Amino acid sequence: MTRAALLACHECDLLQTEAEVPEGGVLRCRRCHGELYRNRANSLDRAFALSLGAAVLLVIANSYPIVGLSVNGTLVETTLIGAVRVLYLDGMWPLAALVFFTTILTPFAQVASMLWMLVPLRVNRVPWGAASVFRLARLAQPWGMTEVLIIGLLVALVKLAHIASVVTGVGLWSFGALMLVLAAAAAAFDSRALWARISTLQHAAGEPHDERAGLHGWLSAAQCGLVQCHDCGLLAKAPAHAHELNCPRCGASVHARKPDSLSRTWAFLFAAMVLYIPANVLPVMYTSSLFGAEKDTIMSGVVYLWTSGSWLLALVVFIASIAVPMLKIIAIVFLSISTQLHSRWSPEQRTRIYRIVELVGRWSMLDIYVITMLVALVQFKALATIQAGPAAIAFGAVVVLTMFAAMSFDPRLIWDAAQQDHARDRKNT
């Protein structure tokens, strides 16, 4: 049996044999039921076509106005980069940097990196710097938030409709299409197919190709001295006494377990918990008009949507901006404490909690995008102006810190305690 026939689960580290999967099928871990891989038909061809479409839509979406406000014949329009610029000029540069990174820079990095790898493969060439570009694509993936931006724009439109006549622009429809195409491209892209194709081309060119022997059994990869790259999925042997190891294929740093996982998770959590209070207590937005000045918190924004008849959007904002950050902090605290105490309680359920935490965390950025649009468009000098408040920066920091906390937590630690107990029980019998 060769190493190529073995897989290690990213979430519980169980070493298991690769199996044939029909087109469209999914191979799941037999212990924690996490997804190991999907068999996507014509994955690289479909990812290439969708990436080209996403590149065109990305240019259009950022070149044309997203939305405009018409008041007494005066039309105020803004592009996404224009909204970021307004935040920066208002002195809210941390917020401007966060919006720019998650809605402009990261989607561009996603599309550019996929095209960089897929275009040469179309003409049977190995992409230059494939390992570095692949790691860039993996790094950018969790931070691209186009779908959250679209929901944020819809919420902003509802609020703006009570101020003036709303004019939707080409950029809004382009971002909507970009959301769908970019999601489809990411779903179609198969890293296993990519590296198999690169390996075939390297082998045809006479370049060295790794085939290593492996082991099989009801064991974790770490117990066999193996580590799996979380980026490209390669299973590699960890040298004895090695403190750091880079993946032989894509060059990413790999570890049997994330170093100082719980310590770093607690550090990010404590910082997020401290900032969660000012994020919900301080004003998130200042509104000045002919009728006076108002200070809005996140909760008052939810109440406004509810009383104006937009119950569904009020519920979405409440869940994304208030419930999700709080529940995410509670969930990570529970996972960290139970892991630190070597709890044996249902590791499979705790792994599912971890998956949910990773899935929903990004949606907390919803209110940040709403504020960005309102600040950019409501600039009518003496009539009405909106500025971002200090809570917006605190809230953005909470979202980023909780995402870092989830990334720092190593779910394989959940299974280590259960596996040690299982081994001890077998030894005693």
In order along its 429 residues, the chain shows pLDDT tens digits of: 344 467 777 777 777 777 777 877 788 887 777 777 787 778 888 999 999 999 999 999 999 988 887 777 677 788 889 889 988 888 889 999 999 999 999 999 999 999 999 999 888 888 898 888 988 888 888 888 888 888 888 888 887 777 777 788 888 899 999 999 998 998 888 888 888 888 888 777 665 544 433 333 345 666 666 777 777 777 777 665 555 677 777 777 777 777 888 899 999 999 999 999 998 888 887 776 555 567 778 888 788 778 877 787 788 888 888 888 889 999 999 999 988 888 878 788 888 888 888 888 788 888 888 888 888 877 655 556 777 888 889 999 999 999 999 988 988 888 877 666 555 545 555
pLDDT at 113: 93
**Domain that includes residue 418, residue range:** 3-428
Separation CA 344–CA 415 (nearest Å): 9
pLDDT at 427: 52
pLDDT at 381: 57
Separation CA 189–CA 183 (nearest Å): 10
Pairing of strands 165-168, 74-78: unpaired
User: Is 209 in a helix, a strand, or coil?
Assistant: coil
Partner residues linked to 27 by β-bridges: 37
Separation CA 262–CA 275 (nearest Å): 20
Separation CA 265–CA 372 (nearest Å): 29
pLDDT at 216: 37
State the first-to-last Cα distance of the chain, in angstroms, to the nearest integer. Answer: 31
Please tell me the total count of domains within the chain: 1
Q: For the chain, state the CA radius of gyration.
A: 24
DSSP 217-259: SSEETGGGTEEE-TTT--EEEPPTT-S-EE-TTT--EE-SS-T
Partner residues linked to 166 by β-bridges: 69
CB 114 within 8 Å of CB 47? yes
Distances in Å between the Cα of 21 and the Cα atoms of 163, 194, 227, 237 are 55, 17, 23, 26
Provide the CA 4 distance to its chain's centre, in angstroms.
29
